[in-house]
Amino acid sequence: MRNKIKEQYMAYVLEHGHEPESIFKFTKKLKIEESEFYDNYNSFKQINAEFWKHLVEETIIDIRKEEVYESYSVREKLLSFLFTLIENAKHNRSYMLKISEKLEKPFAMKPNADFHQAKEVFLDYMNELVVFGQETREIEPRTIPFLTSKYPDLVWMLILAIIDFWINDDSRLFEKTDTLIEKSVNTTMDWLGRTPFDSLLDLGKFLYQNKK
């Protein structure tokens, strides 16, 4: 029943260009009791939130299936995640365009509740990458309190920014989004790795500890 409700809701949004007027009218159209809807979802908004969550979950599952995935660097895993995320999103682009109309923009700067479940799934995944990246020295463990723990949140903001950009991308085959993904991930990894700023901090720390 849960899948039926979700599929019929998505079909309604695509056919009418907006969500049903009410849960009562929607369940009447489905010829089910209103209570059956509430046994599975508490609102239309929850269906949308589940869509975003499943998009992230399915993307992670898909990239882990790749034979070469385990040999990837953190940079390559992030690139794989984002390219696959957009590829998966293409299957439901029309639906995404519609449900995005009510969301506050830019996505990366606004607290849209629809993304909360998806964010939790991604943060778990990104935390794994941070640990792996520190082991391989791709990611620098910063001495500034709590900064390293914020890496997943910063990357999640990047994910939202790219989704936001893709939704408005009118280039052929979404070539501009592909370019944005490559440039964004490369820049992000450059900053998460060791930078001249880290060398400067090390020098300052050394001078401070050895001052007379």
H/E/C letters for each residue in the chain?
CHHHHHHHHHHHHHHHCCCCCCHHHHHHHHCCCHHHHHCCCCCHHHHHHHHHHHHHHHHHHHHHCCCCHHHCCHHHHHHHHHHHHHHHHHHHHHHHHHHHCCCCCCHHHCCCHHHHHHHHHHHHHHHHHHHHHHHCCCCCCCCCCCCHHHHHHHHHHHHHHHHHHHHCCCCHHHHHHHHHHHHHHHHHHHHHCCCHHHHHHHHHHHHHHCCC
The answer to whether the CB of 47 falls within 8 A of the CB of 5 is: yes
Question: What is the predicted pLDDT for the residue at 196?
Answer: 42
The answer to whether the CB of 134 falls within 8 A of the CB of 146 is: no
Mean confidence (pLDDT) of the chain? 91
Residue 206 pLDDT > 50:
no
Q: How many residues does the chain have?
A: 212
C-alpha–C-alpha distance, residues 117 and 52, integer Å: 8
C-alpha–C-alpha distance, residues 52 and 158, integer Å: 15
Higher pLDDT pick, 193 / 139? 139
Instruction: Please tell me if the domain spanning 1-42 has the same topology as the one spanning 44-209.
Output: no
pTM: 0.89
Question: What is the predicted pLDDT for the residue at 147?
Answer: 78
Question: What is the predicted pLDDT for the residue at 211?
Answer: 61
Residue 209 pLDDT > 90:
no
Q: Write down the domain spans for the chain.
A: 1-42, 44-209
Side-chain-side CA neighbours of residue 27 (13 Å)? 18
Tokens for 162, please give them.
């790219």
Residue 101 pLDDT > 90:
yes
pLDDT tens digits for 31-86?
999 999 999 999 999 999 999 999 999 999 999 999 999 999 999 999 999 999 99
Phi/psi-derived region of residue 17, left when phi > 0, alpha when psi is between -120 and 50, beta in every other case:
left
* Contacts of 32 by beta carbon, 8 Å cutoff, 6+ apart: 1, 5
- Of the pLDDT bands very low, low, confident and very high (cuts 50, 70, 90), residue 203 is very low
* Cα maximum dimension of the chain: 83
Question: What is the predicted pLDDT for the residue at 208?
Answer: 57
Q: Which amino acid would we find at residue 174?
A: F
Top-level class of domain 44-209? mainly alpha
Residue 180 pLDDT > 60:
yes
CATH number given to 1-42: 1.10.10
